[in-house]
């Protein structure tokens, strides 16, 4: 095919494009300035929480058991210097990753099947939503009876809580698949596998990632609930630490572990938000009105 370039309208179109062009983007703010802008409300919230805590402490409420921020943070600081806490964090994170990976595979397979097969959609779709409403702790006795006090039992709880959310994300994405894009794909000759790969998968990706984020949050709940109950000798975990602190009525220790769990949860959440934000920006669904 020869290069076909209509000369007349070309120049004029190029001129119009110059006019149509969006105004030049604002100079990108420095990364430090951006980080600070994102961080200061969170820091403020943290300071506020510490102040309220300190006030409660000063008021003398349950003063025999409730330690102040200073005592607790010192306790945390000491614990952070012990290999034991890090080994516990390692164990818990390892379980979280393995459990989440299993949930990812199972949730994706189930979600894909349910969203593609109509009769399954009606039967299993609402069941999955129902599963999602179950508090994670209800799976703990079930898992212990089934697998005993083992890592498998803990992983089972994680999978049962995370997989439904992941499957649901995929199903929601398929439900809101724009029919126009499907038709566009079909007119250009995309069929079955190629249609799935080039249209259905990318179009459902934002909803899928939202499901992953939710699945992680649920799985994390389930994991800690499981660890507090299922105590495996010689395998310290964050849940075991919490459970020990409970037995010894060590409130400073318990709060320290809660803070660690909170920190891990926030860190992973930030990671998901990063991925989510990037995808949304690529898909052009990001809300840029703030900038």
Nearest partner of 35 among 26, 43, 47, 27, judged by Cα: 43
Please select the residue that binds another protein; options are 186, 266, 271, 277, rule is CB under 8 A.
186
188 binds another protein (CB under 8 A): yes
**Shortest distance (Å) from residue 283 CB to another protein:** 5
**Shortest distance (Å) from residue 251 CB to another protein:** 50
CA distance 143 to 137: 10
Task: Please measure the distance between the N-terminal and C-terminal CA atoms of the chain and give it in whole angstroms.
Answer: 45
The encoded tokens of residue 36 equal 């600070």
Please select the residue that binds another protein; options are 69, 90, 202, 265, rule is CB under 8 A.
202
Q: How many residues does the chain have?
A: 291
193 binds another protein (CB under 8 A): no
User: How many CB atoms within 10 Å of residue 283?
Assistant: 12
Q: Between 179 and 234, whose beta carbon lies closer to another protein? A: 179
Please select the residue that binds another protein; options are 14, 32, 64, 290, rule is CB under 8 A.
14
Please select the residue that binds another protein; options are 3, 83, 249, 267, rule is CB under 8 A.
3
Site map (CB under 8 A) of another protein, residues 153-182, x = contact: ---------------------------xx-
278 binds another protein (CB under 8 A): no
Please select the residue that binds another protein; options are 74, 126, 194, 246, rule is CB under 8 A.
194
**Shortest distance (Å) from residue 288 CB to another protein:** 9
Please select the residue that binds another protein; options are 144, 203, 242, 254, rule is CB under 8 A.
203
Nearest partner of 223 among 277, 159, 280, judged by Cα: 159
| Residue that is written with structure tokens 């009769």 in the block | 119
CA distance 255 to 66: 10
For the segment 73-132, give every residue that binds another protein (CB under 8 A): none
For the segment 15-34, give every residue that binds another protein (CB under 8 A): 16-17, 20-22
**Shortest distance (Å) from residue 18 CB to another protein:** 10
Q: Between 2 and 249, whose beta carbon lies closer to another protein? A: 2
Nearest partner of 218 among 174, 254, 265, judged by Cα: 265
| Binding range to another protein, per CB under 8 A, among 57-65, 145-153, 165-173, 193-201 | 193-201
**Shortest distance (Å) from residue 275 CB to another protein:** 14
Q: Between 117 and 181, whose beta carbon lies closer to another protein? A: 181
64 binds another protein (CB under 8 A): no
Which residues of this chain interact with another protein, rule CB under 8 A? Answer: 1, 3-6, 8-10, 12-14, 16-17, 20-22, 180-181, 183-190, 194, 198-199, 202-203, 205, 282-285
């Amino acid at each position: 095919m020869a290069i076909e370039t209509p000369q007349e309208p070309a120049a004029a179109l190029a001129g119009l494009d110059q006019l149509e062009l969006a105004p030049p983007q604002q100079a990108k703010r420095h990364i430090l300035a951006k980080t600070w802008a994102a961080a200061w409300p969170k820091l403020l919230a943290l300071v506020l929480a510490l102040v309220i805590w300190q006030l409660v402490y000063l008021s003398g409420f349950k003063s025999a058991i409730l330690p102040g921020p200073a005592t607790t943070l010192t306790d945390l600081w000491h614990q952070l210097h012990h290999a034991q806490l890090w080994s516990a964090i390692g164990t818990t994170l390892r379980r979280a990753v393995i459990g989440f990976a299993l949930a990812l595979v199972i949730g994706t397979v189930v979600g894909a099947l349910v969203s593609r097969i109509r009769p399954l959609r009606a039967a299993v779709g609402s069941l999955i939503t129902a599963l999602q409403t179950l508090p994670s702790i209800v799976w703990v006795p079930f898992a212990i009876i089934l697998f005993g006090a083992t890592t498998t039992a803990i992983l089972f709880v994680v999978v049962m809580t995370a997989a439904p959310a992941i499957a649901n994300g995929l199903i929601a994405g398929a439900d809101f698949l724009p029919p126009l894009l499907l038709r566009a794909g079909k007119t250009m000759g995309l069929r079955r596998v190629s249609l799935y790969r080039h249209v259905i998968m990318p179009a459902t990706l934002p909803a899928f990632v939202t499901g992953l984020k939710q699945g992680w949050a649920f799985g994390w709940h389930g994991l800690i609930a499981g660890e507090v109950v299922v105590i495996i000798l010689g395998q310290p975990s964050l849940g075991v630490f919490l459970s020990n602190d409970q037995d010894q009525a060590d409130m400073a220790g318990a709060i320290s572990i809660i803070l660690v769990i909170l920190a891990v949860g926030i860190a992973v959440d930030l990671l998901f938000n990063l991925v989510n934000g990037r995808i949304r920006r690529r898909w052009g669904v990001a809300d840029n009105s703030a900038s």
